[in-house]
Structure 1
Amino acid sequence: MGTNKILLNVKEGLARNYIEAIHERFGGTATPHSYQLHTDDLQVSIFTYDLRPNMELSITQGRTATPISMHRTPDKDLDLIHINIFKKGQIEHAYMRNKQYVEATTSTGAFIHNGRFALQGEIPANLFYSSITIKFTKEAFLDFMPEAADMYEEAFGHNQPMTYHMQLPIDLERLTDDILYYQDIEFGGRPMIIAKGLETLTSLIMTAQKMSSQNNLNGLHADDYQRLMLIKNQLMSSFNQKINIQTIADTYGISTSKLKRDFKTLFDCSIYQFYAHAKMDEAYRRLKTGDYSVMEVGYDLGYSNLSKFASMFKKVKGITPSEVNR
């Protein structure tokens, strides 16, 4: 397949849209509820299960030798909520050409959105990927759990593009582990997956309800994404400067509390943590080339005290700057 990225265009919607797009692009074996392809360069399997009318669960697993860039076009006529639970590996989501990793076992391990804006997802090469996705319409959701109507309206009732990132509690980790386990069980596997899928959805809704009551369920709409990406780009282009959260908040016309909350929601860390890690990533890249001395990199990244630079580098990277080229 070469070394370039593989482009895949998908219209957002039910799992069949993904199956049709992947089958058309790569071939393989497709049915209304499954897709499989196994070659030296690409292994993909997708299986879907009807939990209830207008509510489905799908399991996607695979590995690719070449990064796959997936462009998802929003389907504004289909009122679907998408819950993506990442079990292994990671996928890189991009909105307005800016990227954010969604990774298993982190606070961004579950990605919930209403599919109303275009997303680009990149699956890295040579990394096993496993995810469980639950999709449902508003009508199906309210029929399944009418007591959650207020929470649904609060989260998605305004019909704006919205996303939420959540870390799975331990009980949800176990439930989703069970779903993957029963996928390999021939006798009784399907009904157990359906049962565990409904239990997973119920538990996730209860977790979201608890977070909402504690003001910890923070969603991002299109304007939030755009603002955060501008802020991220500003941080990435000013490594030799000190950051001031109040100044950033004033520049973008939001409160510091909202800035901190939104940044944590999207990037799973504080602004200071993001900035420090990004600076050390840049330092590592420069040192790895062999074209820069430790002194040059430290001073260029705004450190007047090289011992502080070395200490931060060791804290983030686990080695000292001088050890990079050994």
Structure 2
Amino acid sequence: MFFEFVPNPQFDFLTHFAKKFNVPLEGDRLILPPVMGTGSIRRISLSTGLKLIVHRYKLNQDIILSRVASDEPNDLVSIIFHSNEATASVNTDGTPNPLSRSSAYAIQIASTDLHSQIRFPANTDIHFIVVGIMKDALKELLGINNPNNVVETIVNAAPGFLYYESMTVEINKLVRQVTEAREDNELGNFYYRLKVQELLYLVFEKLQKREVVNYHLVHKDDVEKLLLIRTAILADLSVPPSLPELAKMAGFGETKMKDIFKQVFGDTIYNYYQQARMEEAAFLLKHSGMSVSEAGYQLGFANLSHFGRIFEKHHGLKPKKYATGG
């Protein structure tokens, strides 16, 4: 299944989705027919300039939601939360990248002038919410006096911005509370508004803590290059990334590459690599049956004491204790 749309403040996702797949609406709710799967999509108008779309379903076929870049500038900020156990994929003018609650792509904050596609696989539980908020409503809600350049870019709805954040346990819990909330609650709108405000607080708390970097307008080609760089970094976690080689491969100048990578992903290339390395180490220790030494050597650590120190710094436990359940 394929659904294409152009985001703007007037666009009604639910109505167009229902028309595309010939599914009747029940007020602000679309219940999927058995031929498509089970579950529903809901739209909730929370306040002036603040809307919510809640996706919770299991489909019989893969679906691609294709967001086409808006040609007309507008003040809409899109914030997408993915809380899926199974891996979907996100493609923002580049190579498909894994998307689940544990990936670095779990939360996307973007302007409406960038194209992206999300593919959800069939026969998997999807928990996925989209917050659409106008820049003036966002400014008023945050009430922040000294925003860093990341937050300032977002609240001004500047063209060509794209940021990713990973999903914390607290944010994931809130997303699940939204997708699993009772629909017969008389105070439902109030409940959703509170939860969305909590989500926005937690996301912007993370964004406000990002180090100030020189802001670069993110063009379509830049996004593609960034995702190529990220794919190259993660291709072999036993080898540290070479900045000159990454820059040459992507066609970036090295300084611009470092700046724009940190701007979008919130960390330096090396720190991002090291974080991914430790996440992979945790996975290997929990799920592969590897010993601490096997996992360390596979990830390129010749010195296991060094591996242990870095692992404990990231996860709060020594590798052996982590592997046995802490």
Task: Give me the TM-score of the superposition, normalised by structure 2.
Answer: 0.67
Say whether 1:61 aligns with 2:56.
yes
TM-fit CA distance, 1:135: 1.0
* Larger strand percent: 1
Q: Is 2:165–2:265's contact at 8 Å kept on the other side of the alignment?
A: no
The farther-off stretch of 119-128 and 199-208 is 199-208
> Which residue number in structure 1 is paired with residue 172 of structure 2?
173
> Which residue number in structure 1 is paired with residue 253 of structure 2?
253
> Which residue number in structure 2 is paired with residue 160 of structure 1?
159
Q: Helix, strand or coil for the counterpart of 1:252? A: coil
Q: Is 1:67–1:122's contact at 8 Å kept on the other side of the alignment?
A: yes
AA at the equivalent of 2:81: I
Q: Helix, strand or coil for the counterpart of 2:55? A: strand
CA deviations on 1:174-203 (whole Å, 9 max, x unpaired) are: 333332343345343332222222232233
In the alignment of these two chains, the number of paired residues is 271
The farther-off stretch of 149-158 and 54-63 is 149-158
Partner Cα separation in structure 2 for residue 84 and residue 27 of structure 1? 25
TM-fit CA distance, 1:15: 9.2
- Where does structure 1 differ by over 6 angstroms across 4 or more consecutive aligned residues? 216-220, 232-238, 271-274
Instruction: Kindly report which structure 2 residues correspond to 1:1-326, keeping only aligned pairs within 5 A, or say none.
Output: 6-13=1-8, 17-31=12-26, 33-75=28-70, 76-88=72-84, 89-147=86-144, 150-151=147-148, 152-155=151-154, 157=156, 159-209=158-208, 211-212=209-210, 214-215=211-212, 221-222=218-219, 223-231=221-229, 244-250=242-248, 252-255=252-255, 257-258=258-259, 261=262, 270=273, 312=298
Larger radius of gyration: 1
Q: Is 1:54–1:140's contact at 8 Å kept on the other side of the alignment?
A: yes
Partner Cα separation in structure 1 for residue 264 and residue 193 of structure 2? 35
Partner Cα separation in structure 2 for residue 86 and residue 218 of structure 1? 26
Partner Cα separation in structure 1 for residue 276 and residue 261 of structure 2? 12
CA deviations on 1:3-45 (whole Å, 9 max, x unpaired) are: xxx2221122369632123212212222562222131443351
Partner Cα separation in structure 2 for residue 54 and residue 18 of structure 1? 15
AA at the equivalent of 1:182: A
Q: Is 1:263–1:269's contact at 8 Å kept on the other side of the alignment?
A: no
Q: What stretches of structure 2 of length at least 5 have no aligned partner?
A: 281-293, 300-326
TM-fit CA distance, 1:215: 4.8
Q: Helix, strand or coil for the counterpart of 1:183? A: coil
Partner Cα separation in structure 1 for residue 161 and residue 104 of structure 2? 17
AA at the equivalent of 1:57: L
Task: Give me the TM-score of the superposition, normalised by structure 1.
Answer: 0.67
Aligned alpha-carbon RMSD (Å):
4.0
Q: 1:312 to 1:116 in 2, by over 3 A?
A: same
Partner Cα separation in structure 1 for residue 123 and residue 10 of structure 2? 24
CA deviations on 1:121-166 (whole Å, 9 max, x unpaired) are: 2122222111122111111112223326734323464723111111
Q: Is 2:79–2:107's contact at 8 Å kept on the other side of the alignment?
A: yes
